[in-house]
């Protein structure tokens, strides 16, 4: 007979474990053995996260506790009525929420254990002693790839500075550049740079950043100080222990300033056992100003790593997205992502997310919520479709945050594409002529960057030789789950390899 005192003691231990898991209470029971009672915490598949939480609680229990060294993590024996309502599923959803924005502190020391390699296996390149620019749409894994390189440096006590460009979002004044250099100098001190020398240079850059001088005057004063910053870096950097500057989301800085920032950094790092690794949305980045000969010129000065292949490689995209979701699921005590989602819904999730990892994570979390409302046992295609419809509205907000005010060409083109696909042609995919001389070309590429239109094929020739078209797909959120758009034909219908003959049959969207 298990006494009430033992039950109360076990309940207290369970509350402590829940506190370690952010307030999520696991299923538990008391198991009686010849040597006494044990408390068993159950999950669909015991995981490192749950074991670690129990270990921490056990270490902090008094030696007199009824359950000191008597915490067990085991596999759930009873089949659950609803997999989506399990504590470990709640833990999974919270984990997804916390991982949607990746920065240098994401996942902490567990980052490398939980990291899913990029589709193109760029990891070996990004950790090399070379300048790298990582391009991809929002959520494609740009910051994660930079994070991989940074965590590899941490493992070997490497030296680096990490600059989150969100702080400088939309800045058009040159004063932002000395401000960025001040951040780098402060992090140089952590790597062992002489404190007084660093403070002196930092103070001078800080004065420039806070001055009311014109952009030209600010630029001249900044460039005059660059040799001092270069010399400071040289005091800590060596061929055996290089210094790396990470610039996350370069595109947030005004396009006119991007080559000037890169030029200033390159002046400090070239031939100085130091390297630049930056990320950004390609269509919103400007690496090189040919007129002024400033910035980084690829491939001479930096290697370009393009992460985002949209849906041009369907099978690889499925493997990649499933791998990311699997890693999160197993970390939270689930056997894998297929434990929560139907096969058809998994394929639809990749299509709806257009193979963008962060969109897939967010959509899956929302799809779980939709499925729970309908008391569904697993995530279904319907739940994914409903989540996609709501997500499209969030993507539309990116037009305001990523595109300069006063530029209505993006919204106008989107309206024309929606009318063409939904009202006129009744199909979600279309061909668009590759012509850099038309005003619509640049706007269409920005729609791709904003994940409102997705690439199915980079170049297809449907008729005349030499006339090449992109094969594009309007985002699912504009027609899936919406009654007025149910007659729209879905292409591709699944994740099978896209055939050229099918792509050539798509209607042609004619630029104005």
Q: What is the pLDDT of residues 140-189, one digit of tens each?
A: 999 999 999 999 999 999 999 999 999 999 899 999 999 999 999 999 99
Over residues 226-252, the mean pLDDT reads 96
Query: Are 53 and 16 contacting, i.e. CB atoms less than 8 angstroms apart?
Result: no
Q: What is the mean pLDDT of residues 250-277?
A: 97
**Furthest-apart CA pair in the chain: how many Å?**
85
Query: Out of 95-104, 123-132, 202-211, 343-352, which region has the weakest mean confidence (pLDDT)?
Result: 95-104
Burial 174-188 (b: 16+ CB within 10 A, else e): bbbbbbbbbbbbebb
Least confident of 353-362, 367-376, 394-403, 446-455: 394-403
| Residue the block writes with tokens 């490192």 | 48
State the average pLDDT over residues 306-316.
Answer: 82
pLDDT value, residue 116: 87
**Band of pLDDT at residue 12, cut at 50, 70 and 90:** very high
State residue 236's pLDDT score: 96
pLDDT at 403: 65
**pLDDT: which is higher, 108 or 457:** 457
pLDDT given at position 39: 97
Across all residues in the chain, what is the average pLDDT? 92
C-beta atoms surrounding 471 within 10 Å: 26
Q: Which domains does the chain have, with CATH numbers?
A: 4-79 (3.30.70), 81-119+311-402 (no CATH), 120-306 (3.40.50), 403-509 (no CATH)
Tally of helices (H runs) and strands (E runs) in the chain? 17, 14
Share of the chain above pLDDT 90, in %: 75
CA 159: distance to chain centroid? 24
pLDDT of residue 10 exceeding 90, the answer is yes
Least confident of 245-254, 362-371, 478-487: 478-487
How far apart, in whole angstroms, are the C-alpha atoms of residue 340 and residue 364? 10
Q: Give me the mean pLDDT over the 210-229 stretch.
A: 96
* The two three-digit tokens of residue 27, written as one number: 């299923």
**Least confident among 130-144, 167-181, 335-349, 488-502:** 488-502
pLDDT of residue 463: 77
Helices 48-60/4-20 angle, 10° precision: 120
For residue range 23-44, list pLDDT tens digits in order: 999 999 999 998 899 999 999 9
Q: Which residue has the higher pLDDT, 434 or 466?
A: 434
Given a cut of 80, whether residue 465 has pLDDT beyond it is no
pLDDT band at 482 (very low <50, low <70, confident <90, very high): low
Q: Among 18-22, 79-83, 482-486, which stretch is predicted with the lowest mean pLDDT?
A: 482-486
Least confident of 300-304, 314-318, 417-421: 314-318
DSSP string, 372-433: HHTT-SSB-HHHHHHHHHHHHHHHHHHHHHHS-TT--HHHHHHHHHHIIIIIII-BSEEEEE
pLDDT for 392 equals 79
Taking only the tens place, the pLDDT of each residue in 66-117 is 999 999 999 998 899 899 999 999 999 999 998 887 777 776 778 888 888 9
pLDDT value for 139: 87
pLDDT at 270: 97
Q: Give 47-66 pLDDT, tens digit per residue.
A: 999 999 999 999 999 999 99
Q: Dihedral sign, CA of 121, 137, 255, 468?
A: positive
User: Does position 485 have pLDDT exceeding 60, yes or no?
Assistant: no
For residue 346, name the pLDDT band (cuts at 50, 70, 90): very high
Dist CA 216 CA 214 (whole Å): 5
> Quick one: pLDDT at residue 144?
93
Mapping DSSP onto H, E and C, the string for 51-85 reads HHHHHHHHHHCCCCCCCCCCEEEEECCCCCCCHHH
């Amino acid at each position: 007979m298990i006494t009430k005192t033992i039950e109360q003691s076990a309940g207290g231990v369970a509350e402590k474990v829940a506190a370690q898991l952010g307030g999520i209470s696991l299923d538990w029971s008391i198991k009686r053995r010849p040597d006494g009672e044990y408390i068993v915490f159950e999950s669909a598949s015991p995981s490192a996260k749950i074991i670690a939480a129990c270990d921490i609680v056990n270490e902090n229990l008094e030696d007199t506790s009824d359950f000191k060294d008597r915490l067990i993590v085991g596999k759930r024996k009873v089949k659950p009525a609803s997999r989506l309502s399990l504590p470990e599923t709640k833990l999974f959803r919270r984990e997804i929420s916390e991982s949607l924005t990746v920065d240098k502190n994401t996942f902490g020391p567990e980052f490398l254990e939980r990291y899913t390699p990029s589709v193109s296996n760029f990891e070996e390149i990004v950790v090399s002693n070379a300048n790298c620019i990582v391009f991809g749409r929002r959520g494609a894994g740009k910051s994660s790839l930079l994070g991989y390189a940074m965590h590899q440096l941490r493992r070997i006590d490497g030296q680096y500075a990490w600059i989150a460009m969100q702080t400088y979002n939309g800045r058009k004044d040159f004063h932002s550049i000395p401000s960025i250099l001040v951040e780098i100098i402060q992090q140089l001190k952590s790597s062992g740079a002489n404190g007084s020398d660093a403070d002196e240079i930092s103070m001078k850059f800080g004065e420039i950043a806070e001055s009311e001088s014109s952009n030209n005057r600010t630029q001249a004063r900044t460039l005059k100080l660059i040799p001092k910053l270069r010399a400071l870096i040289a005091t800590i950097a060596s061929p055996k222990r290089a210094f790396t500057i990470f610039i996350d989301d370069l595109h947030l800085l005004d396009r006119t300033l991007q080559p000037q920032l890169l030029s200033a950094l390159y002046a400090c790092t070239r031939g100085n056992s130091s390297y630049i690794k930056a990320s950004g949305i390609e269509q919103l980045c400007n690496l090189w100003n040919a007129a002024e000969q400033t910035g980084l010129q690829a491939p001479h000065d930096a290697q370009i790593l393009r992460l985002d292949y949209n849906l041009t490689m369907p099978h690889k995209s499925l493997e990649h997205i499933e791998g990311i979701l699997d890693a999160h699921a197993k970390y939270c005590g689930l056997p894998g992502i297929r434990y929560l989602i139907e096969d058809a819904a998994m394929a639809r999730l990749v299509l709806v997310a257009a193979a963008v990892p962060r969109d897939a994570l967010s959509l899956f979390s929302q799809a779980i919520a939709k499925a729970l409302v309908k008391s569904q046992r697993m995530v279904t295609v319907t739940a994914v479709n409903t989540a996609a419809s709501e997500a499209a509205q969030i993507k539309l907000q990116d037009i305001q945050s990523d595109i300069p005010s006063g530029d209505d060409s993006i919204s106008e083109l989107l309206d024309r594409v929606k009318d063409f696909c939904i009202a006129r042609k009744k199909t979600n995919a279309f061909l668009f002529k590759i012509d850099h001389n038309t005003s619509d070309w640049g706007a269409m590429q920005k729609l791709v960057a904003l994940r409102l239109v997705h690439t199915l094929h980079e170049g297809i020739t449907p008729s005349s030789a030499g006339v090449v078209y992109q094969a594009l797909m309007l985002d699912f959120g504009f027609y899936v789950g919406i009654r007025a758009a149910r007659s729209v034909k879905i292409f591709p219908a699944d994740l099978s390899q896209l055939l050229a003959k099918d792509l050539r049959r798509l209607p042609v969207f004619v630029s104005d």
